[in-house]
């Protein structure tokens, strides 16, 4: 079983799989932007329909739904930051922090991730 803190033939897990983490980072970046925008657009469309219908109950319901979608959009946008914060406060995390930083860099900044495999755990 290959763990993050183990190395096989001098190659760490995150360095060896940097291309996969870069792909995950690109997908996460698209989701992090697209999903909140879509949630807000659909919420505004629902609110517009309710306002055109001119029924107070529908307007209140649409406003509540828009607020819930706005909160969900903010949470989705902040999930990577929240996860990074949780990892930074865990004490036993220091053992694998160097390898984690390679994975985190490839996920959070896919454009600056070195995927050549010969970077000795360093990012560009």
State how far the Cα of 2 lies from the Cα of 96, in Å rounded to an integer: 13
> Residue 27 half-sphere exposure, CB side, CA atoms within 13 Å?
6
Does residue 4 form part of some domain?
no
DSSP element (H, E) containing 12: strand 11-12
pLDDT at 8 over 70: no
Q: How many angstroms separate the CA atoms of 14 and 21, rounded?
A: 8
Mean pLDDT, residues 79-93 taken together: 75
Per-residue model confidence (pLDDT) at position 56: 85
97-115 per-position pLDDT tens digit:
677 777 778 888 888 887 6
Report pLDDT digits (tens) over 31-74: 888 888 898 888 888 888 888 888 888 888 888 988 998 898 88
Residue 118 belongs to a domain: no
Task: Please give the residue range of the domain that contains residue 53.
Answer: 11-112
Q: Whats the size of the chain, residue-wise? A: 124
User: Is residue 119, in this structure, part of any structural domain at all?
Assistant: no
User: 81 in a domain, yes or no?
Assistant: yes
pLDDT (0 to 100) of residue 106:
82
The conformation of residue 54, written as its DSSP 8-state character, comes to T
Largest Cα separation within the chain, whole Å, is 69
pTM value is: 0.62
């Amino acid at each position: 079983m290959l763990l993050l803190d183990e190395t096989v033939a001098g190659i760490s897990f995150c360095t060896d799989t940097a291309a996969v983490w870069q792909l995950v980072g690109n997908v996460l970046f698209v989701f992090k932007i697209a999903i909140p925008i879509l949630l807000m657009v659909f919420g505004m469309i629902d609110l517009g329909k309710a306002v055109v219908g001119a029924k107070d109950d529908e307007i209140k319901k649409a406003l509540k739904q828009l607020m819930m979608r706005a909160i969900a959009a903010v949470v989705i946008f902040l999930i990577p930051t929240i996860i990074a914060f949780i990892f930074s406060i865990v004490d036993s995390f220091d053992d694998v922090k160097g390898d984690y930083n390679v994975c985190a860099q490839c996920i959070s900044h896919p454009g600056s991730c070195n995927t050549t495999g010969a970077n000795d755990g360093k990012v560009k």
